[in-house]
Amino acid sequence: MITVIANLKGGSGKSTVAFNLAVWLEKNGRSVVGYDLDPQCTFSDLAMLRKEMDYKPELTIHSVRAVLKDQLLSHADQEVLVDVGAANMAAMKEALTAADRILIPVPPSQADVWATQRFLHIIGPDIDAMKVNGNQQTMAFVNRADTNKSIRETHETEAALRMLRGIDVVLPHRLRLRTGFRRSLSEGLTVFEMWPRSKAAQEFRTLAGTLYPDVVGNS
């Protein structure tokens, strides 16, 4: 399955989610190939850091400026994860036409809802006309949700996302703002490798298990 993790805004958690998903899938017996189409190269830097540190599983992440959809479609028996940023719109659009699903992490704020709406508006007509998989799904979820449940932004953001044309599913499994994501990333590790029992790890596993229901997630 080809999952493209995309959003217009930087800092929404695309690379964090792509990286944690890649390691989680590998640890649970899937073969993963990643594509890093963002000039920031976070996804591929993380793979390189793991290699230097000799952390297993090692990740195969291609850092490229352009990719053809046929290349993404050639990994039939692998999980494909693509990290794309707005800095490379041409590559983003090409990847989105190949995608089985588009995963959009959205921080809980009105500005991020607007940015997501704009993103859907920019990609919508082109992707609809060119997408390879007619059942392509666009999924959004809130990342960096406030840990204080009384703060309303997360619910309001989810409600606003549900109203957006172009979003098929708003996943109910949010990731909260947890320093574990940032700290583990800087070591080249996932949150569930560094702190397997943390809330961050639990929340991540729930999200990953929803995205890949046929993977038996022990890691």
Ligand X SMILES: Nc1ncnc2c1ncn2[C@@H]1O[C@H](COP(=O)(O)OP(=O)(O)O)[C@@H](O)[C@H]1O
Site mask for ligand X (CB under 6 A), range 26-45, x = bound: ----------------x---
Q: Which of 3, 12, 190, 219 binds ligand X (CB under 6 A)?
A: 12
CB of 134 closer than 8 Å to CB of 173: no
CA angle 80, 82, 64 (to 5 degrees): 110
Determine the residue type at 168. D
> Which amino acid would we find at residue 65?
R
Q: Which of 142, 144, 167, 219 binds ligand X (CB under 6 A)?
A: 144
CB-nearer residue toward ligand X: 49 or 73: 49
The answer for residues whose C-beta is within 8 angstroms of residue 163's C-beta and 6 or more apart is none
Strand (E) or helix (H) holding 162: helix 153-163
Length of the chain: 219
Q: Is 194 left (phi over 0), alpha (psi -120 to 50) or beta?
A: alpha
CA 32/CA 132 separation, integer angstroms: 21
Name the segment binding ligand X (CB under 6 A); options: 5-13, 114-122, 147-155, 205-213. Answer: 5-13
Restricting to residues 129-148, name those near Mg ion by CB under 5 A.
none
Q: With binding defined as CB under 5 A, does residue 116 bind Mg ion?
A: no
Nearer to ligand X, 123 or 185 (CB): 185
CA–CA distance, 213 with 21 (Å, rounded to integer): 13
Does the footprint of Mg ion cover residue 42 (CB under 5 A)?
yes
Q: How many CA atoms lie within 13 A of 40 on its CB side?
A: 15
Contacting ligand X (CB under 6 A), which of 2, 3, 8, 16? Answer: 16
Work out which of 170, 175, 207, 208 binds ligand X, going by CB under 6 A.
175
Q: Which of 1, 10, 155, 187 touches ligand X (CB under 6 A)?
A: 10
Contacted entry of Mg ion, ligand X, none for residue 12, CB cut-off 5 to 8 Å set by kind: ligand X
Q: Which two tokens mark 198?
A: 């943390």
Does 205 help bind ligand X (rule: CB under 6 A)? no
CB-nearer residue toward ligand X: 42 or 136: 42
Output the DSSP codes for 6-35: E-SSTTSSHHHHHHHHHHHHHHTT--EEEE
Binding letters toward Mg ion, positions 3-22, x by CB under 5 A: -----------xx-------
Binding site for Mg ion (CB under 5 A): 14-15, 42
Binding site for ligand X (CB under 6 A): 10-16, 42, 143-144, 175, 177-178, 181-182, 185
